[in-house]
Structure 1
Amino acid sequence: MNPEHLELLLTRAMPFGKYKGRVIADLPGSYLAWFARNGFPPGQLGQLLALMHELDHNNLSGLLDPLRRRSY
C-alpha cells in the first residue's frame, strides 16, 4: 500500500457519477462495491477506488482518521 495513495483518498474528488465532487474516502460502501462488481475505471482513479473498497470492505477505514485530522 502506497502511503501517498492514502492521502489521495482524502483529497481526490470523484470526477463523475452520482457522487461527483465527493472525496473518494467519503464514498459509500455500496457505491464502491458496485465498482468492484462491475469493474473499476482505468488508471489512478480505478486504483484509488479499489483501495478504498478494500479499506471499507475490511472495516479499515479508520486508518484514514489520523490523516483526516492532519489535513484539516
Structure 2
Amino acid sequence: MNTGLDTSFLTKLSKAKMPFGKYKDRYLVDLPEYYLVWYKNKGFPKGKLGEQLQSIYEIKLNGLEYLIRNIQKFS
C-alpha cells in the first residue's frame, strides 16, 4: 500500500539549511514563523528551496514541526 509519504523528502527537509540572508546556515525548521509568512505573502522562490520553505510553512502552520525535529534526532 502506497501512503504517498516521501520519507526521503522529509529526511532532506530536516537537514536543509537556509543558503543566504539573515538566517544563513539555520535549519529551515528553525526559521521564525514571521519570516515564513513573509515568504508566503511575497511568494516562495522557485525550485527546491521554494518547495522546502513552503513545506516548512505548512508543517509549522499545522503544528507538526515536532515531526521534523524527531527526524533530525534520529537521522
Partners of 2:68 and 2:19 in 1: how far apart?
21
Larger Rg: 2
Matching residue of 1:29: 33
Gaps of 5+ in 2: none
Once residues 40 and 62 of structure 2 are traced to their aligned partners in structure 1, the CA distance between those partners, rounded to angstroms, is 14
The answer to whether residue 66 in structure 2 is matched with residue 62 in structure 1 is yes
**1:3 and 2:30 matched:** no
Q: Which of 45, 48, 56 in structure 1 is aligned with 2:52? A: 48
CA RMSD in angstroms comes to: 1.3
Normalised TM-score (structure 2)? 0.83
What's the CA shift string for 1:2-55, capped at 9, x where partnerless? 322211222121111110111111111111111101000110100000000000
State how many pairs are aligned: 71
Displacement, 1:63?
A: 1.4
The percent of aligned pairs where both chains have the same amino acid is 39
- Measured after TM superposition, the shift of residue 65 of structure 1 is 3.0
